Structure 1
Amino acid sequence: MDHSTRPMSDSGSFPRMSTQGRGPGRSRAAMIAIALVATVGGCTPEPIPIEPTRTSATPASSATAAASSTPTPDVPGEISALPDGTKPERPAALDQAGSIDAAQAVLMYWIYLLPYSQQVGDPSDVKALSHPDCTFCRSWTDALDTMVARNERAVGGGYTVSDLTTLEVDLGRWYTSTFTLTEAPSTEVNEFGTTIKSYPGHTYKVDAIVVYESGAWTVRALAHETVS
C-alpha cells in the first residue's frame, strides 16, 4: 500500500512534508517565519513583521474551551484525546473576530477534527477550515479522500495537546501557535473491520499559522518535527 497517498504513515498520521527551500538546520520557528513572509507578501504590499505584538497569558485554558467535548484534563495545560468517533464541539470562536483566544480555539478544533475524520471517514469539516494554499492541509485531506475511497478507516490515533502557546503576528488577522502533539497508537481497518496495518504512537513539536480573513477563519500552514 502506498503510504504517500494516505493520512497515516509509519511516522504517524502527519504526512511527510516537502523540505524544498528549507535548510536542514533550520528550526521550526524559522519555517513559520519564512511561511509568513512568503505567503502574506502576495496578499499585502509589505510583509508582516515577524515579531509578535502580544502573547496569550493563558493559552492552554483557552484551547481547552475550544474543544469542550474533551474530558477534563488530568494534567494542567494538557488537552486530552477524545474517544474514537467523538466529534469536537464547534467553538463559538468560529463566529468571532480575530483574537489570540479565538485563533487558539479554532486551531484546536481543527486539530481534533483530524483523528475524528480518519475514524469516521469524513474530511468535510477539515476541508472547510483549511486555507486553499495550505500544503499540509491539502496533502492530509487528499490522503484521507483516498483512504475513504478504499472503504478504510482508522481505529485509535487520538491526539493529546500540551505546551500550547499562541502569538499575534498581525493584529486581528495572523496568528502562530506552537504546541506538543502526542498521537496514540492506531490501526487501519477495511470495510469488514480487518486490520490492514498498525501504527505506533508518536510525539511531535508542531507550528501552525491560523488566519482570520474576510470574516472567516482558516488554518494557513502547519510544520511538524517528530520528537519520539
Structure 2
Amino acid sequence: MFRTHIRSAVPVSVRLGAAAVAAVLVLGGCSGSGDPEAEAAENGSSSASPTGSAAPGETATPTATPTPTPTAAYKPATAEGPAENVPLPVMPELAKEKSKEGLEAFAEYWYSLINYGYETGDPEPLKEISGPDCSVCAHFYSSLESGYDNQDWMAGSVVTVRDVRSDFILTPSGSYQVLIQIMQADLEYYGPGIDYGPSDGTPSPIVQLMEASYENNSWYAVLVENI
C-alpha cells in the first residue's frame, strides 16, 4: 500500500578494409634519364609531404580529439538532501504491445514511475498513463504533496515488484486486469536539518489490482487498487 503521510502528523566496427583506406596504390614506371643527379631531383620533386605535416619553419598542430561530456551521476536521497539526477524510466518496447506479456511489462513500468515520483516529487509521468479513478494513485499524489512541501524531500519508499500475473481476459468494461505483488520500504520524510520520522511501508507482500485499457497503441491504467 502506498501510504499517505500527513504533514501535521509528522510524517541499457565497422572495419575499413585496407583497400578502402588507401584505395589503389598506383605504381608509376619511371624511365631513367641516365643522369643520377637528374633522377634524384625528379624523385625529390615528386615526393608529397604527409597529410597534416607542417610547412618548413612551422610547427605541426595536432588534431584535437573531442572529450565526451560526462553524465551527471545519480545520487539517492538521504537525510542530508534529496535525490539528484534521477533518470526518468523509459517504457520498454514490450510494454507497448497489446498482449499478455505487453500488459505485464506495462504494469512493471507503471511502478517504476511510482519510484521515480518518490525520488523526485514529480507525479506527472504517472498521471499521463493513469486514470482519475485510481485510488492507489490518489494516495501516491498525496504522499508527494506532503513529502515535497516547501524545501522538504523524501527518501526510502522504494516499491519492489515481486510478481506480475494476468489472464489477459477482456472485462465487460473493455479493460484487462493484471495482479501485481509488491513490497514497499518505509517512507522517509526530511527537511533542511529536520527528520520528520518515517511512515510505515509494507514489509510483507501485498497484492494490487490494475485494470488497463489499450487505446491509441498504448496501455492506460484505468484504476489501481488494493485487494
Secondary structure of 1:116 counterpart: helix
Residue ranges of structure 2 left out of the alignment (5+ in a row): 11-75, 78-82
Paired residues of 1:157 and 1:201 also in contact (CA < 8 A)? yes
Structure 2-normalised TM-score?
0.54
Residue 206, structure 1, aligned to residue 208, structure 2: yes
Structure 1-normalised TM-score?
0.54
Between 196-205 and 136-145, the greater mean CA deviation after superposition: 136-145
Paired residues of 1:6 and 1:144 also in contact (CA < 8 A)? no
Percent identity between matched residues is 20
**Partner Cα separation in structure 2 for residue 95 and residue 167 of structure 1:** 16
Residue ranges of structure 1 left out of the alignment (5+ in a row): 11-82
Cα drift, residue 223 of structure 1: 1.7
**Cα distance, 1:138–1:177 mapped onto 2, change above 3 Å:** same
Cα drift, residue 138 of structure 1: 3.8
After superposition, residues 186-205 of structure 1 pair within 5 angstroms as 186-190=187-191, 192=192, 194-202=194-202, 203=204, 204-205=206-207
**Partner Cα separation in structure 2 for residue 114 and residue 125 of structure 1:** 9
Q: Which residue of 1 aligns with 2:115?
A: 115
Paired residues of 1:156 and 1:184 also in contact (CA < 8 A)? yes
Paired residues of 1:168 and 1:174 also in contact (CA < 8 A)? no
Residue 180, structure 1, aligned to residue 169, structure 2: no
Paired residues of 1:94 and 1:216 also in contact (CA < 8 A)? no
**Partner Cα separation in structure 1 for residue 96 and residue 4 of structure 2:** 36
Q: May I ask how many residue pairs the two structures share in their alignment? A: 149
CA deviations 1:126-184 (Å, max 9, x no partner) are 1111123334324432542354343332111112222321121229x632111221111
Q: Which residue of 1 aligns with 2:130?
A: 130
Paired residues of 2:123 and 2:141 also in contact (CA < 8 A)? yes
Secondary structure of 2:90 counterpart: coil
